A and B are shown apart, each in its own frame.
Chain A
Amino acid sequence: MHYVFLGIAFVVLVYFYVLYAALIKKRNKLKEASADVDVQLKKRYDLIPNILNMAAKFMEHEKSLFSEIVNLRTQALRQNFATHPSERMEIENMLEDRLKSFWLNVENYPDLKSNQTMVQAMQTFGEVEEHIAAARRFYNAAVADLKNAVEIFPSSMVAAIVGVKADQPFFTAPDAAKERIDAKDFFK
């Protein structure tokens, strides 16, 4: 009889260990995904000064936009995404919005738009943006995985015992991107 209880206890222990190991793996995967987001965002920050320098000669009337971008870049560089995800997401959304305005304004400067170095910079920037989008998707998948494990029984029990939390936010599209566009506005 003793052996039966010991056997059951052993199986239960192994089961809990498997749940614990899976939970820790998911938490580490999220850390990896957060670090990847940082790496990809860093590529964007490295490109911004080069692009602004190139554009400054042509876009003299957009100084305020330039300084906004530079300020947001400096703010973003102060914090790490892995430790301050919510704050960084907010800054990133603002920076993205400003960068979008910048690229729209580039359209008004045909000389700049057709400049070969600028064309190359645009291509590189496009590629970096795709990498950022991929890193965000990886991060969101890792957050969803960990949230599921932390919130669904029986791994939720193990998470509560060992203190694993899933309070990291998801990357979402900025509110401006969700706004409804009225086609009539384009024909005014």
Chain B
Amino acid sequence: MRDNNPYLELRENFDRFWVSTLQPFLKTKEDMRKKYVSRFWFLILLSFFVLPMLAIGIYMLNTHFSKDIDTGYFYMLCVGAVFIFQMPYKSYKKKIKNDVMPKFVSFFEGFSYEQGKGLTISEMEESHIFPPADEYDADDCFSGFWQGVPLKISEQILKTVRHEKNKTEKQVVFQGIVVNFEMNKKFKGQTIVLKDSGFLNRFKGFKGFERVTLEDPVFEKLFEVYGTNQVEARFLLSPVFMERVVKLKDLYKGKSIQLYFSNNKVLIAIDTKQDMFEPYCFFKTNLNKQKIDLVFEEFITIFSIIDLLNIVQKNTL
């Protein structure tokens, strides 16, 4: 297994990077973490005192002074308190990420980190690979090169919003990573690879796109393809490439993977349904190698997409 792992050397280098750079850096951030944790516990303790006092106050006013104060106010205060409790954690998360992630990605040559700078709404809508949404949020965003291929990785969260009488309901329809990189093939049209929806496929359609039926039965069972040009779609999705996409699907078992090819670039959306790239701890010490290793593995998995799809290799005879 060790011999088969092409990323073994990278992992060994990363272990050295942890000892020489990340660990000492995270040590300097420990005081900051402790400060935020103290704030959190202070707020909890404060609420143990304030909330019962408020409850007693409302009760006294209602029973002894015949005031008619709605207990709904108390519940609203409780909700507000929960929101306030989260504030130290959220502030810490934002701060530590902005500190740690640039340091972390500096391990991968030419990589940079930005928070909240993902794809634009029009880029997502144009691709047809994201479900319709009302709110588009971006969390972590990385850009750099892997094996010479320009690459952009962003974490996107898409939500639908439903307004009903007095309440607003939000539902996450996509939470995952979007990988954007340049292909080794030149093309002008657009091709979409969507997950197969069974008999519902026949009700799908996109303006200017035609259904492209491909000859690989395994691929056809998992995906459905639409393109603006039948030949170009097949040029991109060669039999070998189709096999690789099937392997990619295996790599992210159970996750929805959809692809969009346009303007010499490919966009891969993987609905992981979880928050990714979280290398920090809040209640425990930040010097947790396991957490950092997890983020490293997430990166390696993304790099393996490029290696798996063989994007680096140029066309030659």
Contact = CB atoms under 8 A, between A and B. Distances in A.
B317 interface: yes
Interface string A100-111: 000100000000
B297 to A, nearest CB: 34
Contacts, number: 48
Given A137-B215, A141-B213, A123 B314 contact: yes
Contacts of B316: 119, 122-123, 126
27 contacts: A32-B230, A36-B230, A36-B231, A40-B231, A103-B317, A119-B316, A123-B314, A123-B315, A123-B316, A126-B317, A127-B315, A129-B317, A130-B235, A130-B238, A130-B315, A131-B235, A133-B234, A133-B238, A134-B233, A134-B234, A134-B235, A135-B231, A135-B234, A138-B230, A138-B231, A140-B215, A141-B214
In the A-B complex, the 3 residue pairs with the smallest Cβ-Cβ separation, listed nearest first, are A134-B234, A134-B235, A126-B315
Interface string B45-79: 00000000000000000000000000000000000
Interface string A46-69: 000000000000000000000000
Q: Which of A40, A133, A138 has the most CB of B within 10 A?
A: A138
Interface residue range, chain B: 10 to 19
B317 A125 contact: yes
Interface in A74-123: 103, 119, 122-123
A114 B316 CA distance: 13
Contacts of B315: 123, 126-127, 130
Contacts of B234: 133-135, 137-138
A78 B110 CA distance: 53
B186 interface: yes
A119 B314 CA distance: 12
Given A137-B215, A141-B213, A141-B215, A131 B231 contact: yes
Contacts of A143: none
Interface of B: 185-186, 213-215, 230-235, 238, 314-317
Contacts of A159: none
A33 interface: yes
B9 to A, nearest CB: 30
A135 B238 CA distance: 11
Contacts of A145: 213
Contacts of B214: 137, 141
Contacts of A103: 317
Given A134-B231, A137-B234, 14 more contacts: A33-B230, A122-B316, A123-B314, A123-B315, A127-B185, A130-B235, A130-B238, A130-B315, A131-B231, A133-B234, A134-B238, A135-B231, A138-B230, A141-B214
Contacts of A140: 215
A122 B316 CA distance: 6
A127 B213 CA distance: 22
A14 B99 CA distance: 67
B317 A122 contact: yes
B15 to A, nearest CB: 39
Nearest to B230: A138
Q: Which of B186, B215, B231, B317 has the most CB of A within 10 A?
A: B231
A134 B232 contact: yes
A172 to B, nearest CB: 14
A141 B210 CA distance: 14
A175 B195 CA distance: 38
Interface in A16-36: 32-33, 36
